[in-house]
Amino acid sequence: MAPLKDVDGYLARIGLPALRSLAEVHRAHATSIAFENFDPATGTAVTLDQDRLEEKLVARGRGGYCFEQNLLLASALEALGVTEIAPMLARVRLGPEGTPRPLNHLLLRVVDGDATWLADVGFGGGGLLDPVPFEVGVESDQSGWRYRLVEDGAEVVLQVFQDGGWTDMYGFVPEPVRPVDIEVNNWYTATHPESPFVTGLMIGVRRADRCLSMFINEQAVLVERPVGGSSSITEVALDEVTALLHSRFDMAGVVRLPDGRFAVET
């Protein structure tokens, strides 16, 4: 990625007065730009060209999913002067065990000074607030949320502590991938007819004290987890979705189309 072109616009989008540090930029981005997949769910191609990313996530105030979010973060870190940024692909481990998973999650390994970090602002409502040390066994406390990396065969696994135990989030082979690999996996994620990003909607926002996620298929479900607490799951009537996304997720412009799908008008 090249450095951000509209640094001032990005700073306004994430609520910072200046590009100061990896940690500050990461948390501000994670808590300001929503995770959402309205484009693939409505048949719109997801383009990873930097101009398009800045136009969508910065100028238009939209959210995006991991490929968009973390490539935008990478360009912000380039503007900050961080030059050792390696994208990696992971398999999400949440959900039913034994189900084969594609490499459809993007994360970043970032070298900042003498320290190496895992940076990821694209995992949705339950993702990281801050970068975690890129070192197996080191626990990271983030405003009461706990994360760590462990080894599982050839993979490194990011875990979160919840409900009294450690839960796998995703696993990855710690080797950088090339831009063509990112493009191919993004294309699969955004266009394959069986991709969950095509067949349903996932919207997530991250706050220091809680994470919020909404999943919409035939029905809508709101999942909320406060720091240190258990998740609550609430069914939401489809005709209440747009108002709830506006009030709880700070997402304006969501409309329901005549065919029943939801989209963002921007």
What mean pLDDT do residues 46-68 have? 97
What pLDDT, on a 0 to 100 scale, did the predictor assign at position 125? 76
What pLDDT, on a 0 to 100 scale, did the predictor assign at position 131? 98
Residue 97 has pLDDT above 80, yes or no: no
SS3 79: helix
For strand 132-133 and strand 140-142, is the pairing parallel, antiparallel, or unpaired? unpaired
| Domain ranges, residue 136 | 7-264
Q: How far is CA 261 from each of CA 37, 67, 77, 164, 186, rounded to the nearest angstrom?
A: 12, 23, 35, 37, 22
2 inside domain: no
Number of domains in the chain: 1
What mean pLDDT do residues 159-171 have? 94
251 inside domain: yes
Say if residues 170 and 158 touch (Cβ distance below 8 Å).
Answer: yes
- Would you say how long the chain is, in residues? 266
What pLDDT, on a 0 to 100 scale, did the predictor assign at position 265? 87
47 inside domain: yes
The 10 Å CB-count burial string (b at 16+, else e) for 119-138 is bbbbbbbbbbbbbbbbeeee
- Res. 235 pLDDT band, cuts 50 70 90: very high
1 inside domain: no
What pLDDT, on a 0 to 100 scale, did the predictor assign at position 50? 94
138 vs 148: CA distance, rounded Å? 6
Please name the residues in contact with 114: beta carbons below 8 A apart, sequence gap of 6 or more: none
67 vs 58: CA distance, rounded Å? 15
Residue 124 has pLDDT above 90, yes or no: no
Looking at every residue in the chain, the average pLDDT score rounds to: 95
* Encoded amino acid at 33, one letter: I
Among 98-107, 161-170, 179-188, which stretch is predicted with the lowest mean pLDDT?
98-107
pLDDT digits (tens, 9 = 90+) for 147-163: 999 999 999 999 999 98
- Res. 266 pLDDT band, cuts 50 70 90: low
Name the nearest CA neighbour of 40 among 67, 70, 6, 15.
67
Residue with the bigger pLDDT between 124 and 78: it is 78
What pLDDT, on a 0 to 100 scale, did the predictor assign at position 96? 66
What pLDDT, on a 0 to 100 scale, did the predictor assign at position 98? 63
Residue 95 has pLDDT above 90, yes or no: no
Beta bridge partners of 225: 211
Beta bridge partners of 141: 146
Residue 55 has pLDDT above 80, yes or no: yes
DSSP E strands, 77-219: 84-92, 105-112, 115-119, 132-133, 140-142, 145-152, 155-162, 165-172, 201-206, 210-216
**Domain containing residue 171: CATH number:** 3.30.2140.20
What pLDDT, on a 0 to 100 scale, did the predictor assign at position 100? 67
SS3 48: coil
121 vs 28: CA distance, rounded Å? 10
Residues with active-site annotation: 66, 105, 120
